[in-house]
């Protein structure tokens, strides 16, 4: 089906009246891919808060990184870190007991993935065994990460505070990159492709975290309708588990090559597309 026809057909479908929960990627979705700005989306984020619609960050970013945006945007909902590595829930947010692995700094934490130190150990074994020279955030100084990502130095340091997933900057030919990815997968690790880099972890993904958190929201709110917004391949597990999956365009004005049932493609890039989707689907 023609993409434009798909967009208009799906745009005409109005969601049923129900409590809504929005799961959103950050980089390239709520945040501008290049500047990391959220200014375009800020008025709508405030309206979501007034409408009591939970906004759940579901990102490759670390807890430390996401806490910055939670403070700036005044978002108090639970959040999913490092591509599904764990769910952080403010103590008392859900008024009933649920299983969590630890409590720290005001959060109940549902840990889903293996710890970062273990991922680093396995990656080092892969390097030595195969004579490879790939590098991750754990091998870089903050200044190098800032240079590669466009983050300021303070933000790059927060990106290094990893707990579950290593981020790899793979260089070389496509054949060389595929060889590295193959060896990583053979070692039992999962690989996801984000907007800039590859994420490596084991034991979870965004979809698993979304499924668990959705059930907790149902226990709190009753019947809900979930919306998921992303722009990259690493968002597919999240988009596959929500009622309304939304794909915004990437810089360059194109959609990532993703095929999912009822995928709602928005004809705008990043935060501009995010605003269009949320405004239309929530009516606020």
pLDDT single digits (tens) 244-271: 999 999 999 999 999 998 999 999 999 9
Q: Is 206:242 a contact under the CB 8 Å cutoff?
A: no
Position 193 scores a pLDDT of: 84
For the chain, which residues make up each domain, given as ranges? 3-112+209-282, 116-201
Tell me how far apart the alpha carbons of residues 17 and 227 are, in angstroms, rounded to a whole number: 13
Would you list the DSSP string of 215-231?
A: HHHHHHHSSEEEEEEE-
Position 194 scores a pLDDT of: 74
Position 3 scores a pLDDT of: 40
Q: Is the four-CA dihedral 257, 83, 115, 147 of positive or negative sign?
A: positive
Nearby residues of 262 by Cβ (< 8 Å), 6 or more positions away: 10, 244, 245
Same fold: 3-112+209-282 with 116-201 = no
Could you tell me which CATH class the domain 116-201 is placed in?
Answer: alpha beta
Helices and strands (H and E) in the chain: how many: 10, 13
Position 215 scores a pLDDT of: 98
Tell me how far apart the alpha carbons of residues 193 and 173 are, in angstroms, rounded to a whole number: 16
Instruction: Give the CATH fold of the 3-112+209-282 domain.
Output: Rossmann fold (3.40.50)
- Altogether, the residues listed in the chain come to a count of 284
Residues of the chain with pLDDT under 50: 1-16
Q: What is the pTM of this model?
A: 0.90
Scanning 74-205, the segments in alpha helix (DSSP H) are 116-130, 142-149, 153-159, 174-186
| 25 a catalytic residue | yes
In the set 25, 27, 32, 231, the catalytic residue is 25
């Amino acid at each position: 089906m023609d993409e434009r026809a798909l967009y208009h057909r799906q745009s005409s479908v109005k969601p049923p009246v129900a409590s809504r929960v929005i799961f959103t990627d950050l980089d390239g979705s709520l945040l501008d891919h290049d500047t990391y700005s959220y200014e375009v989306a800020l008025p709508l984020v405030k309206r979501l808060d007034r409408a009591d619609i939970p906004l759940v960050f579901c990102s490759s970013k670390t807890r430390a990184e996401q806490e910055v945006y939670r403070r700036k945007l005044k978002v108090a909902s639970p959040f999913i870190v490092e591509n599904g590595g764990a769910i952080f829930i403010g103590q008392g947010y859900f008024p009933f007991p649920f299983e969590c692995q630890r409590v720290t700094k005001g959060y109940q934490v549902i840990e889903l993935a293996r710890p970062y130190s273990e991922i680093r150990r396995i990656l080092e074994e892969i390097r030595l065994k195969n004579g490879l020279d790939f590098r991750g955030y754990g091998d870089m100084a903050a200044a190098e990460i800032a240079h590669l990502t466009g983050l300021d130095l303070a933000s790059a340091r927060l990106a290094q505070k990893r707990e579950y997933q290593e981020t790899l900057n793979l260089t070389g030919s496509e054949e060389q990159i595929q060889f590295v990815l193959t060896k990583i997968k053979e070692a039992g690790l999962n690989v996801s492709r984000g907007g800039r880099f590859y994420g490596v972890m084991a034991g979870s993904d965004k979809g698993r975290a979304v499924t668990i958190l959705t059930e907790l929201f149902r226990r709190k709110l009753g019947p809900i309708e979930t919306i998921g917004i992303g722009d990259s391949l690493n968002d597919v597990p999240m988009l596959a588990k929500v009622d309304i999956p939304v794909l915004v365009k990437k810089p360059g004005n194109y959609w990532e090559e993703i095929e999912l049932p009822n995928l709602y493609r928005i004809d705008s890039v990043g935060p501009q597309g995010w605003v269009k989707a949320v405004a239309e689907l929530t009516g606020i």
